[in-house]
């Protein structure tokens, strides 16, 4: 969680310095979801992510050097500088892509789950999406398809309260996305997405069941996006004091409190984790800065396989 | 050699590829128990079982998504979009996901998937079940587009498509499903991107797509009787396009007619005309002619649809327009 938070804070800084181009959609505030879910996954389990995908990729084990280099548009990045922030993929880690299209990952996760089921590999596919994506046709098609084909997919709705600039109450006619599970004949759950222990424990049971029974499940995790839709978004749509209220629910602070109280973890130990993360990210930034830009003609590569 | 119908040739290709590679699976609407709306997948459920021949809900987006996700993770799915007209429903999956995944992953993910679909007018199926949309698809980098014109090619090209590591749109013309032709039982594969000279000639090159190839051949026979020797080329795949074969023919004949049943505006003919003038302009003895459908939706009524579709007469007329009254071999 700390690595995700600090990756995003550093990326915001580098963006402000003009070192990272394009659109950036930060995951700050939602770390408990990615961390709590992915801690239950095997390396070979699949995830599909969203345009706000850095957190999911890091939680699934992505190399921050290659991520940072990709954000810088460098040849050493995950996608050789062709994908950028919204398209980080690592097939060996089962990361089938952050995705620039809202709802785009849902049917792809269904396909990955089909492949797992046919191979009998015991893998599961997890599709992360926001409550905004629950308004797309792909959401409904994917849930229906996964249910009728009985596929091992966990649909993780990360309700961060906004669909781009539009608040939840404006675009969602139901109280919870999770209740839509009934319409597809699957189980649905709601989780406090700011409490990583709750996320972790809930998903431990769910992922295991999905793995065993090969049936999809829909889980909604309630959390909040601290940043704007994109970096630089003035967020005029947000209520006064709203961000501050949510920040009192900081998932990292909550976890640290628990660790120090219940588990008597020393502040030093927590600081060591933070120090480790800082040095890892220092290295990632240096790697990205020092890496070569792609040559212009590399734009013609990887269109087709020859 | 066995004589098969076009739809049986496709069925044979699927059967052989499924037997050869257990990662090949089929999915789509009505393809399993019902055997496909044109009988193309008949018998495959019985032979390969319901885990490999999958009936899906009417969810074109999720069907293509299923293909993408399963192709990215080790399967070789062949999915069916029943009519190419329904492709709008899954266009995001095609345009933003399937076509780009190899590229935006920096070459780390390949998508060996085939989307079989059916297109074309002539069946009085009306404006939403008769379109030819290859030009929209060939405009998208990352997709390969195949358009067979006879049973032999259909089988060989589909086998190549299944073995290809990129997303392939395999467009079957509905008027060809009943066409009979000799199809060897012995293994053969036609590489994507190899055009076929269907008929040799010296005075004019006619490049035609799909069912128009057969009309172009008949037109060429009539032109022969009038002293015009037409070379007919079937590109077989519009992406990748065998430009070399077409250039060589145009260099030989000095004249080009392009025939397709999609509307003329922004079509394959426009693209081919541009390519030919860029590369072999100096060899052209006459303006390039396009024979294509008018810029309207496909009509329903027989009388209207026959007017809409290019036919032998329109091909002959176009060829004569650039041959008659102009001396052959000016710059040869």
Active site residue B129: yes
Give the model confidence (pLDDT) of B94-112 as tens digits. 999 999 999 999 999 999 9
Q: What is the per-residue DSSP string for B50-63?
A: TTTEEE--S-HHHH
Give the model confidence (pLDDT) of B41-56 as tens digits. 999 999 999 999 999 9
Contacts of B54 in chain A (CB under 8 A): 114, 149
* Band (B328; pLDDT cuts 50, 70, 90): low
Burial B164-193 (b: 16+ CB within 10 A, else e): bebbbbbbbbbbbbebebebeeeeebbebb
Average pLDDT score over residue span B195-212: 98
Residue B81 in contact with residue A88, Cβ under 8 Å? no
pLDDT for residue A205? 97
Residue B330 has pLDDT above 90, yes or no: no
Residue B212 has pLDDT above 60, yes or no: yes
Give the model confidence (pLDDT) of A54-85 as tens digits. 999 999 999 999 999 999 999 999 999 999 99
Residue B139 has pLDDT above 70, yes or no: yes
CB-facing half-sphere around the CA of B322: CA atoms within 13 A: 27
pLDDT for residue B331? 44
CA distances from A266 to A4, A6, A257, A259, A269 (A): 22, 21, 11, 9, 5
CB-facing half-sphere around the CA of B246: CA atoms within 13 A: 32
Q: Are A112 and B56 within 8 A, CB to CB? A: no
Low-confidence ranges of chain A (pLDDT < 70): 306
pLDDT for residue B326? 75
Q: Which of B52, B102, B116, B129 is catalytic?
A: B129
DSSP reduced 3-state for A148: helix
By the CB < 8 Å criterion, does A300 face chain B?
no
Q: Among candidates B225, B252, B250, B230, which has minimal Cα distance to B315?
A: B230
* Band (B329; pLDDT cuts 50, 70, 90): low
Q: Are B166 and A148 within 8 A, CB to CB? A: no
By the CB < 8 Å criterion, does B301 face chain A?
no
Residue A291 DSSP label: S
> What ipTM was estimated for this complex?
0.93
Q: Are B62 and A141 within 8 A, CB to CB? A: yes
Q: Among candidates B71, B17, B21, B67, which has minimal Cα distance to B41?
A: B17
Q: Are B107 and A145 within 8 A, CB to CB? A: no
pLDDT for residue B255? 97
CB contact set of A226 (below 8 Å; sequence gap of 6+): A26, A28, A29, A243, A246, A247
Q: Are B52 and A119 within 8 A, CB to CB? A: no
By C-alpha distance, the chain A residue nearest B113 is A111
CA distance B122 to B130: 8
Residue A79 in contact with residue A62, Cβ under 8 Å? no
Residue B97 in contact with residue B65, Cβ under 8 Å? yes
Q: Among candidates B165, B312, B239, B179, which has minimal Cα distance to A302?
A: B165
Residue B117 DSSP label: E
| Dihedral angle sign, alpha carbons of residues A253, A258, A259, A260 | positive
B140-B143-B149 Cα angle (round to 5): 110
DSSP reduced 3-state for B48: helix
Q: Are A107 and B52 within 8 A, CB to CB? A: no
By the CB < 8 Å criterion, does A304 face chain B?
yes
* Band (B198; pLDDT cuts 50, 70, 90): very high
Q: List the structure tokens of B59.
A: 């969810």
Residue B233 in contact with residue B260, Cβ under 8 Å? no
Q: Looking at chain A from residue 262 to 291, which residues have their Cβ under 8 Å from any Cβ of chain B?
A: none
Contacts of A109 in chain B (CB under 8 A): 69
By the CB < 8 Å criterion, does B53 face chain A?
no
Q: Among candidates B300, B313, B167, B8, which has minimal Cα distance to A303?
A: B167
By C-alpha distance, the chain A residue nearest B51 is A118
Give the model confidence (pLDDT) of B35-88 as tens digits. 999 999 999 999 999 999 999 999 999 999 999 999 999 999 999 999 999 999
pLDDT for residue B332? 44
């Amino acid at each position: 969680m700390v690595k995700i938070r600090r990756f995003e804070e550093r990326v915001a800084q580098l963006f402000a310095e003009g070192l990272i181009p394009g659109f950036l959609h930060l995951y700050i505030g939602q770390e408990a979801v990615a961390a709590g879910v992915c801690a239950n996954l095997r390396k070979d389990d699949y995830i599909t992510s969203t345009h706000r995908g850095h957190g999911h990729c890091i939680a699934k084990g992505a190399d921050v050097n290659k991520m940072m280099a990709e954000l810088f548009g460098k040849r050493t990045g995950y996608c050789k500088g062709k994908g950028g922030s919204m398209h980080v993929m690592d097939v060996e880690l089962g990361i089938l892509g952050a995705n620039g299209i809202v709802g785009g990952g849902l049917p792809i996760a269904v396909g990955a789950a089909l492949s797992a089921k046919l191979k009998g590999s015991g893998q599961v596919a997890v599709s992360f999406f926001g409550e905004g994506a629950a308004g797309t046709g792909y959401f409904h098609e994917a849930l229906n398809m996964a249910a009728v084909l009985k596929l091992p997919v966990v649909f993780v709705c990360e309700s961060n309260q906004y669909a781009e600039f539009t608040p939840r109450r404006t675009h969602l006619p139901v109280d919870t996305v999770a209740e839509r599970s009934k319409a597809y004949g699957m189980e649905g759950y709601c989780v406090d997405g700011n409490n990583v222990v709750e996320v972790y424990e809930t998903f431990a049971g769910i992922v295991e069941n999905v793995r065993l029974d090969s049936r999809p499940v829909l889980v909604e995790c309630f959390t909040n996006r601290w940043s704007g839709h994109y970096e630089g978004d003035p967020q005029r749509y947000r209520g006064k004091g709203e961000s501050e209220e949510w920040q009192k629910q900081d998932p990292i602070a909550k976890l640290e409190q628990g660790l120090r109280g219940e588990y008597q973890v020393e502040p030093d130990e927590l600081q060591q984790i933070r120090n480790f993360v800082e040095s890892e990210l220092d290295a990632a930034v240096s790697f990205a800065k020092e890496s070569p830009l792609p040559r212009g003609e590399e734009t013609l590569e990887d269109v087709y396989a020859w | 050699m066995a004589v098969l119908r076009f739809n049986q040739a496709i069925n044979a290709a699927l059967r052989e590829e499924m037997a050869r590679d257990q990662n090949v699976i089929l999915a789509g609407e009505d393809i399993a128990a019902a055997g496909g709306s044109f009988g193309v997948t008949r018998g495959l459920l019985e032979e390969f079982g319901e885990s490999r021949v999958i009936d899906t809900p009417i969810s074109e987006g999720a069907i293509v998504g299923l293909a993408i996700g399963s192709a990215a993770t080790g399967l070789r799915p062949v999915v069916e979009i029943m009519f190419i007209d329904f492709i709008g429903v899954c266009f995001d999956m095609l345009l933003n996901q399937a076509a780009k995944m190899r590229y935006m992953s920096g070459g780390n993910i390949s998508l060996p998937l085939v989307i079989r679909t059916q297109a074309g007018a002539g069946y009085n199926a009306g404006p939403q079940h008769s379109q030819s949309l290859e030009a929209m698809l060939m405009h998208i980098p990352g997709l390969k587009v195949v358009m067979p014109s006879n049973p032999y090619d259909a089988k060989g090209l589909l086998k190549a498509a299944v073995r290809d590591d990129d997303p392939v749109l395999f467009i079957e013309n509905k008027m060809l499903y009943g066409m009979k032709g000799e199809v060897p039982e012995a293994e053969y594969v036609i590489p994507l991107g190899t055009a076929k000279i269907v008929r040799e000639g010296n005075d004019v090159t006619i490049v035609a797509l799909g069912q128009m190839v057969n009309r172009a051949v008949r037109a060429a026979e009539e032109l022969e009787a009038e002293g015009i020797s037409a070379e007919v080329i079937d590109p077989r795949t519009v992406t990748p396009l065998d430009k070399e074969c077409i250039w060589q023919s145009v260099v030989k004949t000095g004249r080009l007619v392009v025939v397709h049943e999609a509307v003329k505006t922004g079509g394959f003919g426009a693209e081919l005309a541009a390519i030919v003038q860029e590369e072999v302009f100096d060899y052209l003895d006459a303006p390039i002619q396009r024979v294509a459908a008018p810029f309207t939706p496909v009509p329903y009524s027989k009388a209207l649809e026959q007017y809409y579709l290019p036919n032998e007469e329109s091909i002959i007329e176009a060829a004569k327009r650039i041959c008659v009254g102009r001396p052959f071999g000016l710059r040869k």
